[in-house]
Amino acid sequence: MPALLRSLLALLATLWLISMLTFAATSLRSPQEVAQSALGRGVAQEQIDAFVEQQGLEGSLPRRYGRWLGDFVTGDWGTSPITQLPVAQELGPRLRNSLILAVVALLLALPPSIAIGLAVARRRGGRTDVAVTTGSVVLAALPEFVVGVVLMWLLAVQAGLLPVDSSGLAFGGLGEQVEAFALPALTLALVLAPQFVRMVRAAAIDVIAQPYVRAAVLRGLPARTVLWRHVLPNTAGQLVNVVAVNLVWLIGGVIVVENVFAFQGIGQRLVTAVSQGDVPTVQALAMVTGVLFLAISVAADAIVARVEAGTR
């Protein structure tokens, strides 16, 4: 069986497993309990029956699963019983916001992390290396909400440079929308940077010890040339994998950060959906996150294979 076909079958099997786990986890309560949670206690039986029919909760579990999966694949993600809006329509802008936030955070964190990681790897054991390594460990140990609150206090409350929350994302003009991304993106970048720095440093130290790098140094090549031409390309595979994992984590909403800044992404929506018993929205968010994770993982594997082939 060709490798591409095997990969495709494995991808489909994983998606199917994710769909089963998602549906099972959100179907632990009976349809009547789901209806009462959404409508409130003391509602008439007629209202409960209408809700069950509207949400497609009638029938056996296998039948409901088949109907739900078929609807999801065709783009019908149901209607939120809380907002009375189609789930796909409601999540579209939020998914876009989370994607933009993830990309901006990566762009803020990655370039300086690569430069710092390579620099301290070159001076392994020196004062700069010790200071950067210690700082990375301390910063990585801080919870996201602590980093977010500190940045909010410094840049919004004290300096007045940025808005306290991200409400401008929905109601402001272009300038306000750009500002709405600033604090959440900076927070996420500071959370990601220590991981990237430590990964680049560790990978670069391993590569620097290789014979071909030592040979380049003995030929008299400048240190900067050795780092950027020989060391960085050979750490790219590990870097791509780390970026892929963290990108999925970012797109998943980074729930704490989105709620700290009232950022209208899928992470904030997931919290409200769970607290309100909004089953269709929870199901859709779980599936979307799973699909994104698999898509990014496949893309990362392809990029790593291409990079490794180019460095041989």
For 184-239, the pLDDT digits (tens) are 999 999 999 998 999 889 888 888 888 888 887 778 778 778 887 878 888 887 78
User: Does residue 41 fall inside a structural domain?
Assistant: yes
Determine the average pLDDT of the residues in 136-152. Answer: 90
In the predicted structure, residue 20 carries a pLDDT above the cut 90: yes
The pLDDT of residue 110 is 92
**Token couple for 198:** 């430590």
Residues 41 and 189 placed together within one structural domain of the fold: no
In the predicted structure, residue 33 carries a pLDDT above the cut 80: no
Residues 198 and 240 placed together within one structural domain of the fold: yes
User: Does residue 117 fall inside a structural domain?
Assistant: yes
Q: How confident is the model at residue 309 (pLDDT cuts 50, 70, 90)?
A: low
User: Does residue 312 fall inside a structural domain?
Assistant: no
Residues of the domain holding 45: 3-73
Residues 138 and 242 placed together within one structural domain of the fold: yes
The pLDDT of residue 244 is 80
**Token couple for 17:** 């497993």
In the predicted structure, residue 265 carries a pLDDT above the cut 80: yes
User: Does residue 80 fall inside a structural domain?
Assistant: no
Determine the average pLDDT of the residues in 265-284. Answer: 88
User: Does residue 157 fall inside a structural domain?
Assistant: yes
The pLDDT of residue 311 is 57
Residues 121 and 61 placed together within one structural domain of the fold: no
Residues 64 and 110 placed together within one structural domain of the fold: no
The pLDDT of residue 252 is 62
User: Does residue 304 fall inside a structural domain?
Assistant: no
What is the rounded CA–CA span in Å between residue 204 and residue 60?
56
User: Does residue 305 fall inside a structural domain?
Assistant: no
Sign of the Cα torsion 161, 171, 109, 112 reads negative
3-state SS of 120-175? HHHCCCCHHHHHHHHHHHHHHHCCHHHHHHHHHHHHHHHCCCCCCCCCHHHHCCHH
Share of the chain above pLDDT 70, in %: 94
**Token couple for 277:** 């018993």
The pLDDT of residue 170 is 60
User: Does residue 186 fall inside a structural domain?
Assistant: yes
Q: Where is the domain boundary, 45, 73, 101?
A: 73
Residues 42 and 121 placed together within one structural domain of the fold: no
In the predicted structure, residue 312 carries a pLDDT above the cut 70: no
Q: Where is the domain boundary, 24, 43, 73?
A: 73
The pLDDT of residue 194 is 93
Average pLDDT over the chain reads 84
Residues 41 and 159 placed together within one structural domain of the fold: no
Residues 97 and 235 placed together within one structural domain of the fold: yes
The pLDDT of residue 18 is 92
Q: How confident is the model at residue 171 (pLDDT cuts 50, 70, 90)?
A: low
How many CA within 13 A on the CB side of residue 192?
Answer: 32
What is the rounded CA–CA span in Å between residue 155 and residue 268?
22
pLDDT digits (tens, 9 = 90+) for 54-80: 777 777 888 889 989 998 999 889 888
Give the CATH number of the domain where residue 123 resides: 1.10.3720.10
Residues 237 and 115 placed together within one structural domain of the fold: yes
Chain CA centroid to CA 41, Å: 36
Question: What's this model's pTM, rounded to 2 decimal places?
Answer: 0.83
Residues 99 and 51 placed together within one structural domain of the fold: no
Residues 117 and 258 placed together within one structural domain of the fold: yes
Determine the average pLDDT of the residues in 161-167. Answer: 80
Residues 68 and 155 placed together within one structural domain of the fold: no
**Total domain count for the chain?**
2
